[in-house]
A and B are shown apart, each in its own frame.
Chain A
Amino acid sequence: MADETRSTSESSSGGDRPDRGERRPSRPGGPGGGREGGAGGRKYFRRKKVCKFCVEKIEAINYKDIRLLAQFVAESGRIVPRRLTGVCTPHQRRLSLAIKQARNIALLPFAGRAA
């Protein structure tokens, strides 16, 4: 229990998973734009999303590494889609495989705990 709560709080504060509220359908700014929409009172950041695994050069995505996997699993237990996390396709494939293996051995939930 303690482990579970720790890992989820870490993921929410870590900033690896962008907030859903930030998402807008179009991207007017240039590549890697930092700050946008400052004028009309609508202030929000939109960092260009990058694949965590490519940036940090994490090659091995292992089902035992729950700390890592938990960052890509929502509270409800579902795998967070690529469009929200920015993970690239090859890594998302490995990631989802690892998450499913972890679920099978009760390291990660199939469905979140009463969330």
Chain B
Amino acid sequence: MNRTYELMFIVRPDMAEEDQDKLISTLEAAVASSSGQVKNVERMGKRRLAYTVRKFHDGIYVLLTVEGGGGLIHELERRLRVTEPVIKFLTVRTDEEQKRLDKIKAIKDAKRKAAAPAPSPEPAGEAPAATA
């Protein structure tokens, strides 16, 4: 049931480092209180925005990877919305895409195994014979 989300948000470029830390730690506290988990925090640094947002041309990008339910995301988005320095945010659910990628990777690995070394299927064939 637990889902993985990526929460990317942009804060205004003139925000101090310690204020960012404070914001991130409050978000982390909010995640913890909703029995979620922060998997990763990535500061992507200052970037040029592709278009003007609230009269800003640059922004500091932060990416949070969060595990938890939909209620948690609702709460986090509410917090981001009321936080003044946050100028934009985006939440993307990633677990299903990740599942798809894992599946593709598993199929690929299986194919490679089947194509390259012969010994691995042989012992598997022997084992049932020995038990029988």
Interface on A for B, CB 8 Å cutoff?
1-4, 59-60, 63-64, 101, 103-111
Contact = CB atoms under 8 A, between A and B. Distances in A.
Given A59-B104, A60-B101, A105-B8, A4 B50 contact: yes
Nearest to B87: A106
Contact of A110 (B8, B51, B61): B51
B88 A106 contact: yes
A108 B50 CA distance: 5
Contact of A106 (B10, B63, B92, B97): B10
Would you list the 9 A-B pairs with minimal beta carbon distance, nearest first?
Answer: A109-B50, A106-B49, A105-B90, A106-B50, A1-B48, A108-B50, A104-B90, A109-B51, A59-B104
- Looking at B48, B63, B105, which has the most chain A CB atoms within 10 Å of its CB? B48
B36 interface: no
B47 interface: yes
A103 B50 contact: yes
Nearest to B57: A1
Contacts of B48: 1-4
A100 B93 CA distance: 15
A21 B63 CA distance: 41
A104 B63 CA distance: 14
Contacts of B32: none
A3 B48 CA distance: 8
Contacts of A108: 50
B29 interface: no
A3 B49 CA distance: 10
Given A59-B101, A59-B104, A60-B101, A101 B92 contact: yes
A105 B88 contact: yes
Contact of B51 (A64, A101, A106): A106
Given A3-B47, A105-B90, A106-B51, 18 more contacts: A1-B48, A59-B101, A59-B104, A60-B97, A101-B90, A103-B50, A104-B88, A105-B61, A105-B88, A106-B10, A106-B59, A106-B88, A107-B47, A107-B50, A108-B50, A109-B51, A110-B51, A111-B51
B13 to A, nearest CB: 12
Contacts of A60: 97, 101
B53 interface: yes
Interface string B30-73: 00000000000000000111110100000101010000000000
